[in-house]
Structure 1
Amino acid sequence: MIETIRAAFVIARRDFTAIIFSKSFFFFLLGPLFPLIIGIAAGGLGQQVRQDIDRPIIGVALEEGQAAKLIEARTSLAKNIGNGALPEFLLLPDADPLDPNIKDWLDSADKPLTAIMSGTLEKPVLTGSSRDVKRWTGKIALLSETALSGSNPISVKNDIVVATSSSKKRTQLATAQGGQIILILLTMILAGMVLSNLVEEKTNKIIEILAAAIPMDAIFLGKLFAMLGMALVGITVWSSLGFIGVSVISAGMPDLPAPAIGWPIFCVLMVLYFSMAYLLLGSLFLGIGAMATTVREVQTLSMPVTMGQLLVFFLAAFTVTKLGEPMEWFAVIFPFSSPFAMIARAAQMDNIWQHGAALIWQAMFTLIIIRFSVMLFRRNVMKSGNSGRKKSLLARMRG
């Protein structure tokens, strides 16, 4: 094992140095300018998730008769201005309309509440975060006036609270979704370079020369970590330029929704989960490179893997609002979707231990794929000879 690690380090240092100091690496750093446009367009794919995140529910703590009038007013207005323009109401029959601690119901109601309407229809009080109160004050006044048959203009008293569980949930879901999009874009941009590097060295017979002196496991590990190191260098450069650009344009960094575990740990987990997603997809590409001998075969075999990677991303993105449900657990356990599902958990859940277990599981599966790729390479390249290269693709896959 020690010899394998040493040999892998030699290969990784060789490949990393050759890539970083090559002329093409500068143009590689310019690459994200093009997929950036695609990433902005792909933001529309999260529309359904954003609708789930921003569905407003306002608790109603009014006397029974006034609550009924408010519901009737909402039904009447919905016919004219649309149901989506008005908040949903959740009656709180056990809440005291004049309770000065009515804000406690924001976190103890059956459903996450955006705000709470209390007091009376003549003098309503809207309790919630600053963002939610400003957003819904006008609609609450309109509904109150409609419930009272528009006798007098209604003035809504605002009761601002620092934060609620509902507002935190919405911002954390936005952070989770953003983390997933960043991971999938970086993984798909960078992982394919592992495949092209291996196929190039197979064509030049370099890989067979290395295999004669170094265990194949060490070669594959070294190549994976060399490409990962190159990817991290590129990400560091892009992130630095991005931070500088945002700071200059916005005169300072904007306030971003904070994840549940805090920004420092979340950023560390972003790097770790990107590394695992990269290694998982890269090890799979190594297996493809072991089976393919021509560029056409590389394209034929890599396309299903790329499409499959998009499917597992869509799976993780679909379950971002379904923590604890069976579908979300499947996304967490399935190795290829696990990094994306776990970064969403990091944004919404503050326990750390689950990330250690997930990273160990992903690393174990990466080693399994590498081992399988080595077996394919030994069968299809090291023992093929001239006759072996004439075999069909299906025959090489079967060994």
Structure 2
Amino acid sequence: MSAPALRPRLSALEAAWVIARRDFVAVLFSRAFLFFLLGPLFPVIVGGLAGSIGGEVQREAVSIEVGLALSPADNAAMMAARDRLAPQLGGAMPQLRPVPEAESDPAFDARAFMEARRGNYAAILTGTPAAPTLVGTEGQLRRWQGPIGLVAAEAMSAAPATFPPVNAEIVSTSAASERTTRIQTAQIAQMLLFLLTMLLAGMVLSNLVEEKANKIIEILAAAIPMDAVFMGKLFAMLAVSFVGIAVWGSVAWGLFALGGDAITRVTGFDLANLPAPAVGWPLFVALGVLYFAMAYLLLGALFLTIGSMAASVREVQTLSMPVTMMQLMVFFLAAYTIKQPGSTLELAAIAFPLSSPFAMLARAAMEPEIWTHAAALAWQAGAVVLIVKGGSLLFRKRVMKSGGAGRDKSKKGARLAA
């Protein structure tokens, strides 16, 4: 009886697809992934509540009232002068209120009153409009000396000042305004890219450590090329990450649709008026997806290499900390170069693979050229392949060691895989 014909060995692409499909299904339908999806929502809710309460407390605590401890006639003159100037200066003018204790006490001491922490005044004005004295802390005096002097001069004027009407001609944009608003878009996009990458890349580590503990990785390594295993795992986790982002994005869109005005009022962030990037919103969003994929694959490839070298979860945490800190420094580098387009530092951030997605996403917000993004994406994809190749080579040399034991494991794995 003839021996059954062996099935041909899978190609690297087919092997990577098999690993990716297997890991994607296993992670997506696990209970741990459900809790992972819910995890970021709790800090967001707590942070929103804390920000709302903190902002309300700050608004209540910070006073912009200047107390008046002058004569009743001077108090009235100062408040009238302030009301005349307020339409011209707006928020630069403090509220002026007579101090009740000064009206009832001829020997009122403003310095002692402030040092006793009575009232809720930013400062207290004594003397006369011709010779005013402002009593308060150094910071408050620096802030209000100029406006109070202006009000006092207006109060002494025999004929109240008349302000000529200022004609206004509105332009849709200007070079300075456009650059400033695009910087805001670039900063928000970089921050979002960094947070998503750091939040989601850790899944690669936990997945590989589990399979090392169960000896599954050795069976896979004996049956198919190790770089195909790494690539399959990377793209599986990337697909899972896109599922997570889709869920979080849907929740965020629903929240803004239901209470967008309230969220804008609490956070001060108006999504509807976010400045448009230089390449336009459709292309910017597409580039954001691509640069997230590249940033995730680059960091995930490093984490895979670390996970393949580590023997335990504790060792993984120890080894991954320098990579996490390095990624934080890389983000700071890319963020710093936003205001230095074309500089040597920005070109270095674009050339270094780990910072390249962040720097190029900022450039998409600031500059309209498109060809540079095609070149950057090709370079980043090549860097992913090189890191995966290097990681798989290290795994074979350091973990799947050569020798009798290694050959026995490989033979056993090959038989199990067949």
TM category, shorter: 0.5 to 0.7
User: 1:279 aligns to what?
Assistant: 297
1:264 partner amino acid: P
1:278 partner amino acid: Y
- Find the aligned partners of 1:232 and 1:242 in 2 and give their Cα distance: 15
- Find the aligned partners of 1:253 and 1:371 in 2 and give their Cα distance: 41
Do the aligned partners of residues 190 and 220 (structure 1) sit closer, same or farther apart at CA in structure 2, a change above 3 Å counting?
Answer: same
After TM superposition, list the pairs within 5 Å mapping 1:164-313 onto structure 2.
164-250=174-260, 254-313=272-331
2:12 partner amino acid: T
Task: Tell me by how many angstroms 1:384 deviates.
Answer: 6.9
Q: Is the 8 A contact 2:183 2:365 kept in 1?
A: yes
- Find the aligned partners of 1:291 and 1:38 in 2 and give their Cα distance: 37
Structure 2 runs not aligned, ≥5 long = 1-8, 52-88, 94-146, 262-269, 407-418
User: 1:392 aligns to what?
Assistant: none
- Find the aligned partners of 1:38 and 1:185 in 2 and give their Cα distance: 17
User: 1:159 aligns to what?
Assistant: 169
Q: Is the 8 A contact 2:200 2:241 kept in 1?
A: yes
Task: Tell me by how many angstroms 1:31 deviates.
Answer: 2.0
User: 1:14 aligns to what?
Assistant: 22
* Residues 67-95 of structure 1, C-alpha deviations (whole Å, 9 max, x = no match): xxxxxxxxxxxxxx9xx99xxxxxxxxxx
State yes or no: 1:327 paired with 2:337.
no
Q: State the secondary structure of the residue aligned to 2:169.
A: strand
User: 1:5 aligns to what?
Assistant: 13
Task: Tell me by how many angstroms 1:196 deviates.
Answer: 1.2
User: 2:101 aligns to what?
Assistant: none
- Find the aligned partners of 1:310 and 1:387 in 2 and give their Cα distance: 41
Q: Is the 8 A contact 2:309 2:395 kept in 1?
A: yes
User: Of residues 339, 346, 361 in structure 1, which corresponds to 2:364?
Assistant: 346
- Find the aligned partners of 1:256 and 1:233 in 2 and give their Cα distance: 25
Looking at CA atoms only, which structure, 1 or 2, has the larger radius of gyration?
Answer: 2
Task: Tell me by how many angstroms 1:351 deviates.
Answer: 1.1
- Find the aligned partners of 2:359 and 2:333 in 1 and give their Cα distance: 9
Task: Tell me by how many angstroms 1:273 deviates.
Answer: 0.3
1:381 partner amino acid: V
Q: State the secondary structure of the residue aligned to 2:170.
A: strand
User: Of residues 371, 379, 383 in structure 2, which corresponds to 1:361?
Assistant: 379
Q: State the secondary structure of the residue aligned to 2:168.
A: strand
User: Of residues 25, 29, 32 in structure 1, which corresponds to 2:37?
Assistant: 29
- Find the aligned partners of 1:29 and 1:243 in 2 and give their Cα distance: 16
Q: State the secondary structure of the residue aligned to 1:261.
A: coil
- Find the aligned partners of 1:353 and 1:2 in 2 and give their Cα distance: 36
2:179 partner amino acid: K
Task: Tell me by how many angstroms 1:385 deviates.
Answer: 8.2
Q: Is the 8 A contact 2:10 2:224 kept in 1?
A: no
Task: Tell me by how many angstroms 1:155 deviates.
Answer: 2.4
User: 2:128 aligns to what?
Assistant: none
User: Of residues 378, 384, 388 in structure 2, which corresponds to 1:370?
Assistant: 388
Structure 1 runs not aligned, ≥5 long = 44-80, 86-138, 389-399
1:184 partner amino acid: F
User: 2:399 aligns to what?
Assistant: 381
User: Of residues 333, 336, 355 in structure 2, which corresponds to 1:318?
Assistant: 336
* Residues 183-235 of structure 1, C-alpha deviations (whole Å, 9 max, x = no match): 00000001011111111101110000111111111100000000000000100
Do the aligned partners of residues 376 and 178 (structure 1) sit closer, same or farther apart at CA in structure 2, a change above 3 Å counting?
Answer: same
Task: Tell me by how many angstroms 1:267 deviates.
Answer: 0.5
1:178 partner amino acid: I
Which segment is superposed worse, 248-257 or 221-230? 248-257
User: 1:336 aligns to what?
Assistant: 354
Task: Tell me by how many angstroms 1:296 deviates.
Answer: 2.2
Do the aligned partners of residues 9 and 156 (structure 1) sit closer, same or farther apart at CA in structure 2, a change above 3 Å counting?
Answer: same
Aligned length: 289
Do the aligned partners of residues 289 and 363 (structure 1) sit closer, same or farther apart at CA in structure 2, a change above 3 Å counting?
Answer: same
- Find the aligned partners of 2:327 and 2:230 in 1 and give their Cα distance: 21
* Residues 241-262 of structure 1, C-alpha deviations (whole Å, 9 max, x = no match): 1111111112696232111111
Do the aligned partners of residues 258 and 229 (structure 1) sit closer, same or farther apart at CA in structure 2, a change above 3 Å counting?
Answer: same
Using the size of structure 1 for normalisation, the TM-score is 0.67
1:186 partner amino acid: L
Do the aligned partners of residues 384 and 192 (structure 1) sit closer, same or farther apart at CA in structure 2, a change above 3 Å counting?
Answer: farther
Q: Is the 8 A contact 2:16 2:229 kept in 1?
A: yes
Task: Tell me by how many angstroms 1:153 deviates.
Answer: 2.1
- Find the aligned partners of 1:34 and 1:321 in 2 and give their Cα distance: 34
- Find the aligned partners of 1:184 and 1:310 in 2 and give their Cα distance: 8
User: 1:129 aligns to what?
Assistant: none
Task: Tell me by how many angstroms 1:164 deviates.
Answer: 1.4
> Percent identity between the aligned chains?
58
Task: Tell me by how many angstroms 1:34 deviates.
Answer: 4.6
